[in-house]
């Protein structure tokens, strides 16, 4: 019973504080929401910049057989500076000479 009364008192105090500082609480919530939104936006921006940087770092190379442009990381090469888009292209190039 003692705890129930204490809980009730705390509840009343909470309601009183909430009604008294409603504006401050509302502005606080508003600011907090804006802050989280801004943080999310900046995070997505960072990701976008990262992706751009990654795409810039990988140079495109041309397949010596079929002429398809592919990122160097995915390209196959036998000799230096001669790239192929797939094993198939590499094989045909080797067979032809």
Question: Which chain residues interact with Zn ion by CB under 5 A?
Answer: 63, 65-66, 68, 85, 89
Least distance (Å) between residue 65 CB and Zn ion? 4
State the alpha helices, DSSP H only, in 1-97: 2-20, 22-57, 87-96
Least distance (Å) between residue 48 CB and Zn ion? 31
Least distance (Å) between residue 69 CB and Zn ion? 10
* Residues 6 or more apart in contact with residue 78 via CB below 8 angstroms: 84, 90, 94
What are the φ/ψ torsions at residue 58 (nearest 5 degrees)?
Answer: -90, 115
Residue closer to Zn ion by CB (options 26, 91) is: 91
């Amino acid at each position: 019973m003692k705890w129930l009364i204490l809980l009730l008192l705390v509840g009343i105090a909470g309601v009183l504080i909430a009604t008294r500082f409603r504006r401050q609480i509302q502005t606080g919530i508003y600011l907090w929401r804006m802050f989280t939104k801004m943080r999310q936006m900046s995070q997505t921006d960072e990701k976008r910049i990262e992706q751009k940087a990654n795409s810039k770092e990988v140079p495109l190379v041309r397949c010596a057989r079929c002429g398809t442009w592919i990122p160097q990381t995915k390209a196959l090469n036998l000799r230096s500076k001669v790239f192929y888009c797939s094993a198939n292209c590499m094989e045909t190039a080797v067979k032809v000479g």
